[in-house]
Chains A and B, each alone.
Chain A
Amino acid sequence: MVNNLDIIKKYLEKHVDNPPEILTPESKIKEIGIDSLGLLELIFEIEDNYGIHLPENLPMPETVGQLLEIVEQYKPAIGNE
């Protein structure tokens, strides 16, 4: 099973110049090198990874933890992945 935090770490390694060494649920998304456009792309990649489509009226997460919560809520249950 792919860990959600790993998806974010991989995204940062691929797309950001100086990714933070430590990523925690409290990390603010805009402070780890992801701006509003980057966040759209990250959500897009997460959706692709799980084959889901998050509702468009979701409030934009401000922290890594909030993003992870959203993913947990909408990703398929284990066994259905």
Chain B
Amino acid sequence: MRRRVVVTGIGMVSPFGGDAEDFFERMMVGESAVRLYRHPSSPDDLSQPAVCCTSFSPELTIGRSLSSMTDRFSQLGLAAAFSAWSDAGFARIGAGADDFGVSWGTGAGGALTYEKGYLDFFERGKRRVSPLTVALAMHNAAASNIAIALGLGGSCLSYSVACASSAVAIGEAYRRIQSGESRLMIAGGSEAPLSLSMMLAWNAMRVVAEGDEESAYCACRPFQEGRTGLVLGEGGAALVLEDWNHAVARGARIYCELAGYGQSCDHSHLVRPDAVGQIKAIKAAMEEAELSPATMGYVNAHGTATQEGDPIEIDALRTVFGADAADLAVSSTKSMHGHLLGAAGAMEAAITVLAVARQEIPPTAHLQKVSADCQGVRHVMGCGLRDRPFGAAISNSFAFGGSNAVLAFRQLR
């Protein structure tokens, strides 16, 4: 029999500088962390609306020794994992176990470290790179550092599935606990995409939102008429997932149950999403969690605010929810925390867990006029929704490459 899995810890590096609850409260009032970001060393004054965790101090958060041996994506991951670990009631030292594991997602891993190597070589005339480059840049560096720091001897896995990376990491961690292979997993993701090469690359795809100093705050407008695209965001988020019996036995505070995980591949195009694949993943997650359209209270949408992506997701939701779609509460919180790429699924899963636990639904910020091609669901705007009890919610993550991952969270019953 499959074991039930609960969420007992939430952690993140918030672009606002506070904890997960503070972050959620800011989401609830539509506060955006997007600013015009000027790349500090671009020769051409490269700037774009983005979310940068400016108040995050790796040294203060994870210590000087660990900071000097890690890329920024690992630093953000370690900080998020430590905060989730502590939120779950564990001491930093000595609380790990051999059947506790890590499941992590990142899209670009240590891109900043590679970029530094190239800049040293081509720009600064150095003819060699730091001997730490491999250890810093490898995609599983965040996961392994988390396992080492917390003493987690079970599986230590890293997933790179573009923008679904950390949703997949959470889903696969869920499977390991369900099967009894692990009693507890730290699952999440981290991303540090504000490198010169990443900013230029995303710009070149013509999917980055336009904005200047003044308008950057509301540059990312999912589902809005005239939306101009996504904004890159850096950060990290983590959940502590735990076998229900284990959580209850140790008297853990339980946020909600992770009750379903659906996965699919569009198998049609590298960067153009397909509603058919999304529908399959949404249905699979809902069926596993035994949720009918009428019982679903909230969808945290993938909603990147691109012209192409948003209507396809709404189409998928309309198809799955049918007559119930019109009353289905949907929002994209990327309007406030940006697109964390490989860490997006974890950040949005954390928000969805808090939404279920607090019975509050955050809005899509800056959404005033829903685009004609995004209508048919109940878009949550303004200051979100309260006083509307609901039992379950899903978080959608749809990646370039066509990989879809949907997580279903349910109140305890």
Q: Which residues of A are at the interface with B, using a C-beta cutoff of 8 A?
A: 14-17, 33, 37-38, 40-41, 44
Contacts and interface: CB of A to CB of B under 8 A. Distances in A.
Interface in B41-79: 63-65, 68-69
Interface residues on B, range: under 10
A15 B130 contact: no
B65 A33 contact: yes
Given A44-B130, A44-B131, A38 B69 contact: yes
A18 B193 CA distance: 31
Contacts of B63: 17
A14 B68 contact: yes
B248 interface: no
Identify whether the interface residues of B are mostly helix, strand, loop, or mixed: loop
A44 B68 CA distance: 14
Nearest to A34: B65
13 contacts: A15-B64, A15-B65, A16-B65, A16-B68, A17-B65, A33-B65, A37-B132, A38-B69, A40-B131, A41-B68, A41-B130, A41-B131, A44-B130
A44 B131 CA distance: 7
Identify whether the interface residues of A are mostly helix, strand, loop, or mixed: helix
Nearest to B127: A53
Nearest to B68: A15
Contacts of B65: 15-17, 33
B247 to A, nearest CB: 32
A11 B386 CA distance: 53
B135 interface: yes
Interface string B315-339: 0000000000000000000000000
B64 A17 contact: yes
B29 to A, nearest CB: 38
Nearest to B131: A40
Contacts of B132: 37, 40-41
B334 to A, nearest CB: 36
A38 B63 CA distance: 15
A44 B120 CA distance: 14
Nearest to B62: A17
